[in-house]
Structure 1
Amino acid sequence: MSLTLNDIRKSFHQGDTEVAVLKGLNVSIEPGQIVSIVGQSGSGKSTLLSILAGLERADRGDILVDKVNLTPMTEQQLTLFRAQNISIVFQQYHLIAHLTALENVALALEILKMEDAKKRAEESLRELGLGHRLNHFPSQLSGGECQRVAIARALVVKPRILLADEPSGNLDTHTGDKVMDVFFDVVRKHNITTILVTHSESLAKRCQRVLRLEEGMLKDQ
């Protein structure tokens, strides 16, 4: 899926003061491209990702996904579109403690009422190298394994766009590198348009394209 941003603007109010975070972003991302967004803390990276995910509305501007404009959609339409096309991986794993790895991943399919949820969940976990951890609970998994379960959950619905917010941020460098090796292998295999927000310059450079968010503007680095 291609993704185009036209004049995306977002401000927040702090008391009587309006603070402009995004000041007219314009960018086009090609189908299957893996793009990183870097910038200082507070620059608006996570805000931008929330807007792309439809979790937050921009004040102005258009978001086009394969020429479908998300901006005029109702909340119900946006929720349905997101469920069918977009997945998100967060820095926090957000796994359900009383469900096994298999059940956590299958739940994403069950919510969408998709068939063969357990079978597809198992395939996704095996692809992430967790075939031996299917019936383990989050408390029995390492941090790296928990994040791979979260990635499997995001990918099992076969999204056309994947958004990732500091996916290795809670992991040590060695574990984070191993998790991201698998991450990049899988998104390339399935040709998923991927946007990765990160503070890590080295991780950003592993992507095909690096965009820097600075002073409310987005530019190629």
Structure 2
Amino acid sequence: MTRPSLLLLDLDGADGEALDLVRAARRRCRVVRFANSPERARLDPEVDAVVSSARIGVAKPDPEAFRRALRVLQHSVSATLLCDEDPENVAAARGLGIDAAHVPTARALREALSARGLLDEQSTVDHDQSEQDGALIVLSDKEDAHRLAAELEQSGWAPCAVHRDMLAGEDDAEDADWVVELRTAPDGTPAGAHLAELTELADREEGFVTGMN
């Protein structure tokens, strides 16, 4: 199997072993928790970003939920792996051509990740190489996005560009998200190396953060 560059996870019952597996996979690909609930989960500190179906307006297993999530994350179907505890979500993802695995246990998760090279100890892809260069702060309100961009720019972040991202049709203004693009932190390091700090800012604005190359 081809090694995915994006791992979508929904593991409500994640235990210590599952968390260790997620940490190992994160050294080899981008990891995002994709769940219907917007509530915080034990898995959140171990992933690069969190996308909730409540946030994007469509719940799994509706295929549109997967389309919107990948659009927000700016990622392709062919390079994505979904690991989910719900077989209906797995079936829906597969219907779109997404590689998906039903993982009701840590053992099933280990097998799914190992089969796709995400737990290969001989991998030449290390953690530093897999980190994202930039970051996107995704908010639902235009004014909030511009205000936050101005605050970040004053603090030394760059370029703090604000983009409109349509999750549905181009004419559906209600489904528009506003994205603050960041490439460089005030200390000159890549913005993607500061996802934890940026996530705190996004949480304050009821948004979320994702890394980008």
Q: Structure 1-normalised TM-score?
A: 0.26
Q: Relative CO higher for 1 or 2, CA cutoff 8 Å, sep ≥ 6?
A: 1
Q: Structure 2-normalised TM-score?
A: 0.27
